[in-house]
Amino acid sequence: MVRALGLSLALAVLLSGPASSGPVGQGLLVAAAADLRYAFEEMGDAFHRAAGVPVTFSFGSSGQLAFQVEHGAPFDLLFSANEAFVWRLAERGFVVPDSVQLYAVGRIVLWVRGESVLPVQQGLALLVDSRVRYVAMANPEHAPYGEAARQALARSGVLGRVRGKLVYGENVGSALQLVQSGNADVGIVALSLALAPPVSSVGRFWLVPDRLHDPIRQGAGVVARSPRQGEAYRFLRFVNGPQGRPIMRRYGFVLSGEGTSR
Amino acid sequence: MDLSALWTSLKVVSLATALSGTAGIGVAYLLAMRHFPGRGLLQAFTALPLTLPPTVLGYYLLVALGRGSALGQWVEATFKTALVFTWQGAAVAAAVPSLPLVVAAARAAFEEVDVQLLEAAQMDGAGAWQQFVWVLFPLAHRGILAGVTLGFARALGDFGTTLMVAGNIPGRTQTLPIALYDAVQAGRWDLATWLAVLLTGVAVSVLLAVSRLGTRLV
């Protein structure tokens, strides 16, 4: 037993060698909200080709990522689904204040699986239909897309009748997963996810009018502790520049002045 | 990417098992063989990780070991690297919920050892350490092995605590369970299935090897 313990300890020490030389290497490490997954995987490849710097993404919920930045996570950049999180971090010195900027305004959609018989084009009124038993959305307590979904339900006057059907995902990605796996009938998820090829090929959606919820203003900022701030700024400019904007628009992230494509 | 998660998991679980094994055997020895003030409190504290949800446990650890805490700053000054958001931090995160399992099994094994044998060793002039190495440990080794194995299994499957303390960083702290979660979130069901098979394969082969080792040791 002592030998087994010693062996595992020796193994751990041995294995600690290549710890720092993972795929992350000299590239950028970017914390990004779950709604950005597909758009940013494309963005990362485009940036790598253009700038020669590889980008690794850590996708999660905006609240958790902000909490991790505060506690010393080695991220170079934070792309939050809620610009308020980034401003709050900037005020306390965790994010470079001058770097904070808007990079997207998010939209929400009603989403059903391709084989579903539910007429998603009916819009939010569909949710009171008795065939709809569960409606998945992100948790409105902390997820920006969840808060927008709650506002849309309230402003369209169906919240009271839908409340008992709501199931919450930790973030907008887990909400979509609840519908994709067939456990919920309808989801209120991000347009950016609904437009992504792996998702659009298996479902249908209806765009929720943006007058029904406050704008989902998504903000980004350079992490103050990052040792690669020059490259971090470059990626930030890339996302908001002539090469990044078309990718963002294709995934439904429209900035004011760009006009809505839908 | 998939293989880097396997590699990370192997590193994390090896260190985690070593940590929870060593600490667990020590605590189990104290609880079983020694009487001291605060023994009840120590017992309660080591069982605590069983009752707390993994994310709550992760939150405590992140606050306690984070770069803003006194302990975190000490670690960073001493080892020139922060503990949180590293694979070593992931190992600490995975070791904590494994600890109660090691303690419970090892403690029961220690308590089953006939006290007269220890007294005989003592009469022959053996000190506490010699009694532990030559009498107590050999007689209790099966229970200890069972506890460390349980601890290993728990550490391999850990998700919530690790995610909180070490994050989801591909190539650095993304273990197999976290990679699996990430694949499901991305809708990559094929990759998720493959990772699940891989994780199960690692678990089964290690558990099989340990049970072989266990029967050979008897």
Q: Which pLDDT band, with edges at 50, 70 and 90, does A256 fall under?
A: low
- Helix (H) / strand (E) element for A30: namely strand A28-33
Q: Which pLDDT band, with edges at 50, 70 and 90, does B159 fall under?
A: very high
Compute CA distances A205 → A40, A124, A178, B149, whole Å: 21, 11, 15, 48
Q: Which pLDDT band, with edges at 50, 70 and 90, does B145 fall under?
A: very high
User: Which member of B84, B185, B217 has the closest CB to residue A72?
Assistant: B84
The Cα of A157 is separated from the nearest Cα of chain B by a number of Å equal to 31
* Mean pLDDT to the nearest integer, A219-244: 96
Compute CA distances B206 → B136, B147, B176, B199, whole Å: 26, 14, 15, 11
Alpha carbons B15 and A10: distance in angstroms, whole number: 9
Question: Is there a common fold for A24-105+215-250 and A108-207?
Answer: yes
CATH placement of domain A108-207: 3.40.190.10
**CA angle in degrees (0–180, nearest 5) for B24-B26-B28:** 65
Winning range, highest mean pLDDT, from A44-53, A172-181, B125-134: A44-53
Tokens of B70: 């006194």
pLDDT at A4 over 60: no
Using an 8 Å CB-CB cutoff, list chain A residues near B82.
72
**What pLDDT does A7 receive?**
52
Alpha carbons A146 and A137: distance in angstroms, whole number: 6
Q: Which pLDDT band, with edges at 50, 70 and 90, does A22 fall under?
A: very low
The Cα of B129 is separated from the nearest Cα of chain A by a number of Å equal to 14
Q: Across the interface, do A24 and B187 touch by the CB < 8 Å criterion?
A: no
* Mean pLDDT to the nearest integer, A81-103: 96
pLDDT at A44 over 80: yes
Using an 8 Å CB-CB cutoff, list chain A residues near B15.
8-9, 12
pLDDT at B218 over 70: no
Q: Which pLDDT band, with edges at 50, 70 and 90, does A18 fall under?
A: very low
pLDDT at A130 over 60: yes
**What pLDDT does B211 receive?**
85
**What pLDDT does A140 receive?**
92
Residue A30 and residue A57 in contact, taking contact as beta carbons nearer than 8 Å: yes
Helix (H, G, I), strand (E, B) or coil at A16: coil
Alpha carbons B126 and B63: distance in angstroms, whole number: 44
Using an 8 Å CB-CB cutoff, list chain A residues near B18.
5, 8-9, 12
Q: Across the interface, do B172 and A24 touch by the CB < 8 Å criterion?
A: yes
Give me the residue spans of the domains in chain B: 2-217
pLDDT at A5 over 80: no
Strands A108-113 and A203-207 come out as: antiparallel
The Cα of A127 is separated from the nearest Cα of chain B by a number of Å equal to 24
**What pLDDT does A21 receive?**
37
Residue with tokens 């309230």: A154
Alpha carbons B6 and B178: distance in angstroms, whole number: 11
> How confident is the model over B4-37, as pLDDT tens digits?
999 999 999 999 999 999 999 999 999 999 989 9
Nearest partner of B61 among B217, B166, B133, B131, judged by Cα: B166
**What pLDDT does A20 receive?**
40
- Helix (H) / strand (E) element for A78: namely strand A77-79
pLDDT at A64 over 90: no
CATH placement of domain B2-217: 1.10.3720.10
pLDDT at A1 over 70: no
Checking ipTM against 0.85, whether it exceeds it is no
Q: Across the interface, do B14 and A5 touch by the CB < 8 Å criterion?
A: no
> How confident is the model over B42-81, as pLDDT tens digits?
999 999 999 999 989 999 999 999 888 888 889 888 888 8
Residue A235 and residue A243 in contact, taking contact as beta carbons nearer than 8 Å: no
Give me the residue spans of the domains in chain A: 24-105+215-250, 108-207
Other Cβ atoms less than 10 A from the Cβ of A3: the count is 8
**What pLDDT does A17 receive?**
43
Using an 8 Å CB-CB cutoff, list chain B residues near A72.
66-68, 72, 82, 84-85
Other Cβ atoms less than 10 A from the Cβ of B156: the count is 23
pLDDT at A115 over 90: yes
Q: Which residue of A has its CA nearest to B82?
A: A72
Using an 8 Å CB-CB cutoff, list chain B residues near A203.
none
Nearest partner of B135 among B108, B116, B157, B156, judged by Cα: B116
Tell the burial category of A29 from Cβ atoms under 10 Å away from its Cβ (0-12, 13-18, 19+).
buried
A215: left (phi over 0), alpha (psi -120 to 50) or beta: beta
Alpha carbons B8 and B183: distance in angstroms, whole number: 16
Using an 8 Å CB-CB cutoff, list chain A residues near B24.
none
Alpha carbons A144 and A106: distance in angstroms, whole number: 9
> How confident is the model over B95-143, as pLDDT tens digits?
999 999 999 999 999 999 999 999 999 999 988 899 999 999 999 999 9
End-to-end CA distance of chain B: 41
Q: Which residue of B has its CA nearest to A75?
A: B169
Alpha carbons B76 and B67: distance in angstroms, whole number: 8
**What pLDDT does A167 receive?**
96
Strand arrangement, sheet containing A77-79: A55-60, A28-33, A77-79, A216-222, A101-106
CATH 3.40.190.10 fits A24-105+215-250, yes or no: yes
